Amino acid sequence: MIMIPDRSSRARVPVAACILALVLFSAAFPAFAQTQVSVLCYHAFLDDVKKKDPYSFTLDELASHINQLKNEGVRFVSAADILSGRVTGNNNVLITVDDGHRSVHDAYRKVFRPNGIRPLLAIYPNVIGKKDYALTWEQLSELAASGCDIAAHGYYHLKINQKLCDENPRYFRLEIYGSKKKLEEKLNRKISLFVYPFGLRTDAGVRALKEAGYRCAFTIKRGGVTAPVPIGDAAFRLPRYMVTRGGWQYCFNQVMKNSKGMAAVSYADARAPKNRARTAVRVERAGDGVLHASLTDAVVKRDEYPLEKVEKRLKPPTPRGKKKDEIKVASI
């Protein structure tokens, strides 16, 4: 009796094996499923928005943005959600608010919290509790306790570029290490996120951020963020969409494209546009004339902050053409 092999069953085995392998691969590497988050960057929310200020919105305008996104089925996620891998699908938005303007307190109470939004607040400590336009430490602590995530945004909001690293290493380290230390002391929580002042990223800055113990950092390069956050240098160039008065529709359209998987995920190096309009604020010395910049020139290792050991009378490096008693710092 001659046995004829069943070729059809043999053919089905490789196909089944391939399907099983694909399922296992997708489970092991969820980023390939294109889980994506669109990160929006805001600054201030004012009742009287000046026409020349492209980065501020009224609370009604902010609420309108949120309602537009909600009507499209957008899911608002937090930075903690992204870091922990609790995000699925593409229709996700993370709200970030830079610079610690006092208007954030009302915006959270009246718009963000009622809509279940926990924004990421990017803070540079030098203005907190010192300027009438900035949050107080009590307000910032309240926001953090209410569910807002906090990121360091430099100490003085200086450009963390190679020039600062070479010419003023003390300030370079203060922007990265000192901001983390100050926020952790004041808020009694670990700070693991960083937002580049001006969106400027350098290799020296990335190395210092890793050494300081940060997990990731945000730029202002446009694109979507994959979740969970990638490992390595890619985690330190996460893109965001800068929301401006004339650019909201563009940002909204990009969120919609990302939600449909149409926009490419970008982790390219972030460079601030050369001719982009900037809103400036003054960062002056404290009332006693002392700027507390107290990191030494010694190499600072992770979790080793000499901030409490040394206190010197230092002035932030002054850009060309500016007076020594003030420094112009853009609000982005």
Say whether pLDDT at 278 is over 90: no
- Specify if 291 maps to a domain: no
Q: Give the separation between CA 198 and CA 279, rounded to whole angstroms.
A: 11
The predicted structure's pLDDT at residue 14: 56
The predicted structure's pLDDT at residue 281: 32
User: Taken in order 294, 300, 305, 308, is the CA torsion positive or negative?
Assistant: negative
- Specify if 14 maps to a domain: no
- Specify if 38 maps to a domain: yes
Ranked by mean pLDDT, which of 9-13, 210-214, 308-312, 318-322 comes out on top? 210-214
Say whether pLDDT at 212 is over 60: yes
- Specify if 10 maps to a domain: no
Residues 6+ apart with CB under 8 A from 220: 41, 196, 199, 239, 240, 242, 270, 272, 332
The predicted structure's pLDDT at residue 309: 35
Burial class of residue 53 in the structure, from the number of CB atoms within 10 Å of its CB (0-12 exposed, 13-18 middle, 19+ buried): middle
Say whether pLDDT at 39 is over 70: yes
- Is residue 192 very low, low, confident or very high in pLDDT (cuts 50, 70, 90)? very high
Say whether pLDDT at 22 is over 70: no
- Specify if 120 maps to a domain: yes
Q: Do the Cβ atoms of 241 and 251 come closer than 8 Å? A: yes
User: Whole-number mean pLDDT of the chain?
Assistant: 78
Specify the CATH number for the domain of residue 118. 3.20.20.370
Give the residue-averaged pLDDT of 139-143. 98
Say whether pLDDT at 269 is over 80: no
Q: Give the separation between CA 216 and CA 230, rounded to whole angstroms.
A: 9
Give the residue-averaged pLDDT of 310-322. 42
218-244, pLDDT tens digit by residue?
Answer: 999 999 998 888 888 999 999 999 999
Say whether pLDDT at 125 is over 80: yes
Which tops the pLDDT comparison, 248 or 292? 248
- Specify if 300 maps to a domain: no
Which tops the pLDDT comparison, 14 or 105? 105
Say whether pLDDT at 32 is over 60: no
Task: Tell me the pTM.
Answer: 0.73
Lowest mean pLDDT among 14-23, 84-93, 170-179, 219-228: 14-23
Say whether pLDDT at 325 is over 80: no
- Specify if 156 maps to a domain: yes
- Specify if 324 maps to a domain: no
Containing structural domain, residue 71: 34-277
146-171, pLDDT tens digit by residue?
Answer: 999 999 999 999 999 999 999 999 99
- Is residue 203 very low, low, confident or very high in pLDDT (cuts 50, 70, 90)? very high
Say whether pLDDT at 289 is over 70: no
Number of domains in the chain: 1
